[in-house]
Amino acid sequence: MKKLEGAGLRGQSAGQTSLSTVEQEGSLRYLGYSIEDLAENASFEEVAYLLLLGKLPKSSELDEFEEELSSQRKMPDSLVNVIESIPSSAHPMEVFRTIISYMGVIEPEKTFEDQLKVAKRLLGVTTTGIVYWYNFSHHGVRINQDSNERSLAGHFLKLLRQEDIPELDKKTLDVSLTLYAEHEFNASTFTGRVCASTLSDLHSCLTAAVGSLRGPLHGGANEEAMKMLQQINSVDEVKSFVDQKFENKEKIMGFGHAVYSIKDPRSNIIKKFSEKLSLNHDHKLLHDAAVEMEAYMWEKKKLFPNTDFFMAPAYHYIGIPTDLFTPLFAIARIVGWSAHAFEQRSNNRIIRPSAEYIGPEDRNWIDIDSR
């Protein structure tokens, strides 16, 4: 395998994990299971069970797990008050971060034996909380927190859209959560593991991870891809649009990857859902333009789309506002972040790397009057 080198710790092993493997050639596996198999056969809840508990659940175990997750969705009244005080101008990831941090105050992780319970609680309450905030801050509506939906994907969409949700829409979101659930030592996961290595509580680990995901170079790519695609008025404009971007030295969002060198295995999975959804949508152009851009970017620069690129039209087609794209990424990644925190704290040594000093050589002190 070609060694990765360069800035940003490229190619340097920063620890061990049994949770996932990301291969340059375009392979992603969770505990040995390929992302293709999981997306095809597993629900997000099954994937969450796999990552948090280290095995695929039996039918009775999955039923119990789903029931437990469903029971964790209702927010404490004090959290509702906090959320209602946050204005619509706030970035949704700031709201997401606040929910986790506040839960650490009112429902703290008292011992590490509580970690699984805390992870389930945060998975449920962040899903409800971010949709509640969006509806209240943008539309002045206090939504019912109970959706009567079994799956997390169905719950999110039902609260957001306040209507019965087509199965294809639920399946699309469910698969997307599986694709986003875990991805080895990415920036936010590594941030969370550094925090976990101090033996801090799970709320702190996840708050740190959310802060890292908040950055536009990590979690915001799907939002930026959506904004970019919305600027294109016809498929015929795609090539000139891309050429102009390159001429202006602007980044084309949703292409390339820090690890994958040939393809992102998640991209084709969500692309198929985007295509299916586009066939019955007024704005089919979004998907068609994305397909044309994918082909032209490969022809021109040998760049491939990452998972965020086709996630943008897919999310748009199922009625998700662009501002909520990154919080959905975060909801799914709560599973991966939590699993990494569990793993780090179970066999821990504090993460404390060294730095290569590039400052000036030894210098003599200069008195302030002589400077």
CA distance readout (Å), 161 to 101, 140, 144 = 27, 14, 12
Dist. CA 250–CA 242, nearest whole Å? 9
Which phi and psi (to 5°) does residue 367 adopt?
A: -60, 145
Q: Would you name the residues annotated as active-site residues?
A: 218, 257, 308
Q: Decide: helix, strand or coil at residue 317.
A: helix
Cβ(329)–Cβ(322) under 8 Å? no
Cβ(41)–Cβ(57) under 8 Å? no
Region of 302 please: left (phi>0), alpha (psi -120 to 50) or beta: left
CA distance readout (Å), 74 to 50, 100, 150 = 24, 14, 14
Q: Decide: helix, strand or coil at residue 320.
A: coil
Beta bridge partners of 30: 20, 33
